[in-house]
A and B are shown apart, each in its own frame.
Chain A
């Protein structure tokens, strides 16, 4: 059991790094894209609101695995061939952005309406009041929901193994198959995912304390 680990540490570590890379890239992209879509959804321009709503309803409701396979094998049919790593990051980001959007929107709606009225009274434009007044306050209440999204991205990245991306689950499956120790390797990969999720949660708590208003 120990030798199985020693002999395959390189492959597994490579898998961990790939999982971390996919998670970080997909999470950051989903927060940025999600914020943009949320701004669309609260904007005073009806067509933008519609675009935002349609985006959320599409990507919130497609199973990630189906999206991965469509991007991996469907898009090349129409001439768009992305690398499998990019496929994984893109699919995860698209789905998570829909959830991030709703988190951001809930955060924005949670800021008392008086704040927006005061900003407008001071002569700030829609964008200015959003960027300087509303979003900074909304962020405080969004930290824990965003941690949930981070964990969703980290765990969801394991589905990338189904399209042959060399992340943790894929490497664990390969090593498990070669050494006939599949259950051991699944156990180990589960532990690593728990650690990644815990680290995300820990960072979230630190951030939450930093952002807390001292009264």
Chain B
């Protein structure tokens, strides 16, 4: 005998999203972010993506062998890299295939391809958090960190930054029915969510000093805070916000990006050849179009228009 449904379909969906969050827990506990694509979606086109990696440039053998840092990675046959598996557009795991794709993940594979010459650009990913990035580079657990890693002078004292390889601009996301927030000035006096470890909080403090900023561990929790009304707005890189809004009509992105934030590739400071080599690789993929193609296949799936010009290498304090 069928019983009448106690919950509407919508309620069930929302509840299961909440449970997925609960299961995922704080991503400070790393590696448990697989279920989050239920909330954020992952739109990277995988077959194009694999072609871009396979079509990436390969360094001349002499260049690799002549560089102590790169020669070690070539001998190991894989690039040990640090990053996320729960960062939409940049490094996100597809729970059905286990494959991690995104702009950061793709760049790590392109660097691996450049050094090892292998078509699939093998990487061994360690999940890093904002608490562990510097330490894992310093103690040699990872060769590189690709993790929407903002270049700051304080961090540059611990690790060397190759790049910058990407210019991020923070934008504002609110609920669709919100009409009071349209630009960064309107954030004054409002409750704002952003991700821990981003440099966004400092910028909001400057541009909207009356704003109350709460920092949450990852994208999924920031979204949950916004949707449940704990905060009035969510501020982070525009691409991430557009990606979120594209899968959820109850949210919208308002205004234009109001800041510049430059992402770098973290490598060891102990061996200057590391930064030198990664910068040479970055120059190569920017020149041959791989950088732009990867942008188009990842961030470009939600941000309209052609790939922007990459930022000038070494142009940021700390890089």
Contact = CB atoms under 8 A, between A and B. Distances in A.
Contact of A177 (B21, B131, B193): B131
Contacts of A72: 224, 228, 230
Contact of B21 (A69, A174, A180, A186): A69
Interface string B34-45: 000000000000
B122 interface: no
Given A173-B196, A176-B131, A70 B228 contact: no
Interface in A36-85: 63, 65-66, 69-70, 72-74, 76-77, 81, 84
B158 A186 contact: no
A180 B134 contact: yes
A182 B131 contact: yes
Contacts of A178: 154, 202
Interface stretch (B88-96, B172-180, B213-221): B213-221
A164 interface: yes
B46 interface: no
Given A65-B26, A77-B15, A180 B131 contact: no
A159 B29 CA distance: 11
Contacts of B28: 161-162, 173
Contacts of A63: 25
Interface in A143-181: 159, 161-164, 170, 173-174, 176-180
A81 B18 CA distance: 14
B314 to A, nearest CB: 20
B196 to A, nearest CB: 6
A161 B11 CA distance: 28
A66 B196 contact: no
A183 interface: yes
A74 to B, nearest CB: 5
A201 B132 CA distance: 32
B18 A74 contact: yes
Contacts of A84: 214, 230
Interface in B278-316: none
B14 to A, nearest CB: 6
Interface in B100-158: 130-132, 134-135, 152, 154-155, 157-158
A162 to B, nearest CB: 3
A77 B14 contact: yes
B196 A174 contact: yes
Contact of B225 (A73, A77, A182): A73
B25 A81 contact: no
Interface residues of A, number: 28
B31 interface: no
B197 interface: yes
B22 interface: yes
Nearest to A73: B224
A162 B154 contact: no
Nearest to B222: A164
A70 B134 contact: no
Q: Which of B14, B21, B132 has the most CB atoms of chain A within a 10 A radius of its CB?
A: B21
Nearest to A165: B214
Nearest to B152: A180
B228 A73 contact: yes
B216 to A, nearest CB: 5
A150 B225 CA distance: 30
A74 B20 CA distance: 11
A182 B130 contact: yes
B230 A76 contact: yes
A124 to B, nearest CB: 46
B158 A180 contact: yes
Contacts of B63: none
Contacts of B23: 66
B55 interface: no
A23 to B, nearest CB: 19
Contacts of A173: 28, 130-131, 196
16 contacts: A66-B23, A73-B225, A76-B228, A77-B228, A81-B229, A161-B28, A162-B26, A162-B28, A162-B217, A163-B216, A164-B216, A164-B221, A173-B28, A178-B154, A182-B130, A182-B135
Interface of A: 63, 65-66, 69-70, 72-74, 76-77, 81, 84, 159, 161-164, 170, 173-174, 176-180, 182-183, 186
Closest 8 CB pairs of A and B: A162-B26, A76-B228, A73-B224, A182-B131, A180-B155, A164-B214, A180-B154, A74-B18
